[in-house]
Chains A and B, each alone.
Chain A
Amino acid sequence: MFIESNKWRWSIVLGAVLLSVWWMAPQFIDHKGWWVSKEKLVYGLDIQGGLHLVLGVNVDDVLEQKLDRSKNAIVEFLNEENIEVEEHFLKNHIFIKLKDLSQIPQAVQKVEDQYGSLFQVLDSSGGQLELAYSQLQEENIRKEIIDQSIEVIRNRIDEFGVSEPVITAQGGKRILVQLPGIKEAERARELIQKTAHLELSLVSEELSVEELLELIASAEAEGQYSLQSEQSYRAYVQKLNRDLKAKLPPRTAIAFIKDESARTLSAGRSPMLLETDTGLTGDMLEDASVGVGQFGEPLVNFRFGLEGRKIFSAVTAENIGRRIAIVLDGVIKTAPEIKDHLTDRGQITLGSGDRTQMLEEAQMVSTTLRAGALPTNLEQLEERTVGPTLGRDYVAKGRLSAIVAICFVLIFLLLYYRWLGLVADIALSLNIMFLISCLASFGATLTLPGIAGIILTVGMAVDANIIIFERLKEELRKGSSVKLAINEGFSRAFSAILDANITTGIVCLILMYFGTGPIRGFAVTLFCGIITSVFTAIFVSRTILNSLVLHFKLKL
């Protein structure tokens, strides 16, 4: 039985070696075919360099905006159905008070017929309707908001041309962006972050630019703040508008045109007064693109979706000759004049100038409009940029220290255990090979802590072998035969090895769950290391030892 099973053992060991060669092959050969595994070890950002961003998406705000818009649509719908609304407001849910209380059952019926798939009527007592998204609907919308943001970021990055970008949702409110090997991290970051809220607002002419500047100066002096002292541009504008609320005409707000540097607002500081109730937002837009006018000059084409058409048509009909500002993230990008009554589509012509400059501007405006189809604010929570040379240095050093560590351990084992040491050396070498191929098999990401995990595995993997060999020697000292000693040594050591590795495995699993990025990389390598080292110590080294003792009559 002893000899019989060893043949099987060798087949399994051989199978494992072949499998690991198959898994490792793509690291060395650039070839596609059945004989090369598809997955490949990927270097983490800390090694190959690149940009790592965690962006927060303000899902709750977007949800509220959507709710507000739906509320207005429902009120309008009720009015059309001859149900007069006295008052309506938002307070987590939609509340609509009717003038004629007897119309409530009728209103509930109508709303349920028309909006039943979106909203549920929570309460209709007390003379008012309370509406809210159904839970499923709300979850869908939340997911949509994140998905939209991801899609827009992806589009942007595609324009930038990065290979293998990672853009994924992280929890319900965050997006993780990883751009490996990118050199212009700053530009990429700006490009990603430009994704923001777009509104189209009529420019109010009630106050002149001089008057506005005066008002702003007085507010700044009174409140003792400036753009530089505030956290962000948005915070500054919010503060300004809050302080000036009483002095500005009703339903207007101040925003600035930025000419050059969108981030610092240093280049242009010309304020405009915007009407806040125009009601056109970017997500009503369906599409925008760069086109060519009749003289070959670049311009921007855009089209509104169903919802926006009505408003757009009404706005353009009443306000010919006035300017309408395209406001991205509270910043006015451009403010073209309304030339004609439009229904669903229109063109934005740009001033005159250099053709390439105009083309660039047209591209900027159309991308702005397209990105505006997504009304989310992205907030940067975490950023890590690694230059391309840093990782290379680390990897070179890491590799050297791994080789040195392995050599030391191999020599030590050989000197201490002689023949048994040779067995342990073979097992350890195979273990490292198995570990790397195991990681490659599911395309794991190799990070710096991951390399540390591999080196640590080298140190700890031999532990299993040492436990077995010490036990084996002990049995021999007691006077057992070699065969019996091997049997006893392995079977007695088994429980210790198993318990020790399972508990370490538990720690690894917890690290995988709670850790992010590099830490998870460490946990994954260590976990794979546990599996491969148990296999090599218990199975492979025993197989080799059996053969040595049985076929080569080795005396231990």
Chain B
Amino acid sequence: MKINFLKYSSFFLIVSGLLTLAGLALIFTKGFRYGIDFAGGNEIQIQFQEMPSLDEIRTFLTEENYGNARVQSFGQDQEILIRMEESKLEKVTELTAKIKERWAGAEIRRVDSVGPQIGSELKRNGILAVCYSLLLILIYLGLRFDYNYAPSAVFCLFHDSILTMAIFSFFDREVNVQTLAAVLAIIGYSLNDTIVTFDRIRENVALYSRKESFAQICNRSLNDVLSRTLLTSITTMMAVLAMWFLTSGVIKDFAFTLGIGVVIGTYSSIYVATPLTVRFQLLKSVVKGH
């Protein structure tokens, strides 16, 4: 069985390109809902013995002059999360004391408070981490393969991370330090896929370059590694789903991001990275021809 992956590659490339542009537009216009890691502020996680309604808590907060605090339910375990942009930590301490007084048995499970200085620094470091990762990958691939493979691999990674982040922006999911780690894990995963394909193309070029065109070789290689691509996606998905269903909080969010990443990463190594390489190769031969 042989699938002609490249048959509709122009279509997929255009769709992916448009999606990336749309993603960028969304990120720059709508932006993200940053968690306190990046935005600064305070976050209190409370577990009640008997869960009061969220409205009850909101009324209480307004009465106690914490009108700007936001409440949301958290997980399934009678937990809530209060977020406030209050800069004075004493106020947070005060509030936790008041809550403990009002609801007997309420347990303060976690208090995070991040100053604005640290927040912007974390943001800067996050962006730097992604940029340096992409740059070093570009260099490494350029050295190990060829410079017509490297840019398509990096564009593919760029595509993956932009789309993942755009999904965060679109669904208003909170972006925090863990999201960043997950995005980098996605970059790692998608890259893994892409490199396995490229490795096969490199090998097949040596074997078939007399008989077949570069595009044909690429398609042959995609078919060669297809079973591996699917199998690895399945096992990784198993791990991700186990995390998603059985955990809560940090790890669950992490699993969500990874799950999206596995899907996008698998798609992009087949329909973005390889077709792009074919086009780069074409461009190169045209330039050489002249």
Q: Which residues of A contact B (CB under 8 A)?
A: 46, 54, 56, 185-186, 231-232, 263-264, 380-387, 389-390, 393-394, 397-398, 400-402, 404-405, 408-409, 412-413, 416, 448-449, 451-452, 455-456, 458-460, 462-463, 466-467, 470, 474, 492, 495-496, 499-504, 506-508, 510-511, 513-516, 518-519, 522-523, 526
Contacts and interface: CB of A to CB of B under 8 A. Distances in A.
B250 A448 contact: yes
B255 interface: yes
Contacts of A518: 177-178, 181
B246 A514 contact: no
A409 B109 contact: no
8 contacts: A382-B115, A384-B111, A398-B251, A502-B140, A503-B137, A507-B133, A510-B133, A514-B125
Contacts of A397: 246-248, 251
B178 A412 contact: no
Given A384-B111, A460-B232, A466-B232, 12 more contacts: A46-B250, A385-B110, A390-B45, A393-B77, A401-B242, A401-B246, A405-B239, A412-B238, A507-B184, A510-B129, A522-B181, A526-B185
A528 to B, nearest CB: 14
A448 to B, nearest CB: 5
Contact of B242 (A405, A449, A510): A405
Contacts of A448: 249-251
B235 A463 contact: yes
Q: Which of B136, B203, B246 has the most CB of A within 10 A?
A: B246
A384 B44 CA distance: 10
Interface stretch (B24-32, B193-201, B273-281): B193-201
A54 to B, nearest CB: 6
B118 A504 contact: no
A219 B255 CA distance: 57
Contact of B243 (A389, A405, A412, A523): A405
B180 A381 contact: no
A510 B114 contact: no
A386 B109 contact: yes
Q: Which of A263, A463, A518, A526 has the most CB of B within 10 A?
A: A463
A385 B89 CA distance: 12
A398 B243 CA distance: 7
Interface in B131-148: 132-133, 136-137, 140-141, 144
Interface stretch (B9-17, B52-60, B167-175, B223-231): B223-231
A397 to B, nearest CB: 4
B109 A387 contact: yes
Nearest to B131: A510
A384 B239 contact: no
Contacts of A46: 250
Contacts of A413: 235
B118 A54 contact: yes
Contacts of B107: 387, 389
Contact of B188 (A451, A507, A515, A516): A507
A412 B129 contact: no
Contacts of B188: 503-504, 507-508, 526
Interface string B241-269: 01101111111001100100000000000
Contacts of B51: none
B7 to A, nearest CB: 24
B247 A506 contact: no
Contact of B128 (A492, A508, A514, A526): A514
A503 B109 contact: no
A405 B181 contact: no
A449 B227 contact: no
Interface string B149-179: 0000000000000000000000000000110
A459 B181 contact: no
Nearest to B253: A452
Contacts of A508: 188
B203 A492 contact: yes
B196 A456 contact: no
Given A452-B243, A456-B258, A514-B126, A506 B250 contact: no
A457 to B, nearest CB: 9
A511 B184 CA distance: 8
Q: Which secondary structure characterizes the binding site on chain B?
A: helix
Interface in B73-115: 77, 87-90, 93, 107-115
Interface of B: 45, 47, 77, 87-90, 93, 107-115, 117-118, 122, 125-126, 128-129, 132-133, 136-137, 140-141, 144, 177-178, 180-181, 184-185, 187-189, 191-192, 195-196, 199-200, 203, 224-225, 227-228, 231-232, 234-240, 242-243, 245-251, 254-255, 258
A449 B235 contact: no
A455 B109 contact: no
B232 A463 contact: yes
Contacts of B181: 449, 511, 515, 518-519, 522-523
- 9 cross-chain pairs, A with B, having the tightest CB-CB distances, nearest first: A459-B239, A459-B236, A401-B246, A405-B242, A496-B199, A504-B188, A514-B129, A405-B239, A390-B109
A466 B133 contact: no
Nearest to B45: A390
B189 A506 contact: no
Nearest to A56: B117
Most chain B CB neighbours (cut-off 10 Å) among A382, A518, A522: A382
Given A416-B231, A496-B199, A506-B140, A186 B114 contact: no
Contacts of B224: 474
A503 B242 contact: no
A452 B255 contact: yes
Given A387-B108, A394-B247, A449-B254, A459 B238 contact: yes
Contacts of B110: 384-387, 390
A123 B189 CA distance: 60
Given A397-B248, A400-B246, A510 B132 contact: yes
Contacts of A264: 90
A460 B192 contact: yes
A516 B122 contact: yes
B36 to A, nearest CB: 10
B118 A503 contact: no
B248 A408 contact: no
Given A381-B117, A499-B199, A518-B178, A231 B240 contact: no
Contacts of B184: 507, 510-511
A384 B141 CA distance: 40
B250 A449 contact: yes
A460 to B, nearest CB: 6
Contacts of B243: 401, 405, 452, 455
Nearest to A408: B238
A381 B115 contact: yes
A166 to B, nearest CB: 17
Contacts of A513: 129
A405 B195 contact: no
A514 to B, nearest CB: 4
B51 to A, nearest CB: 16
A214 B234 CA distance: 76
Nearest to B254: A452
B228 A467 contact: yes
Contact of B250 (A394, A401, A507): A394
B17 to A, nearest CB: 24
A405 B181 CA distance: 20
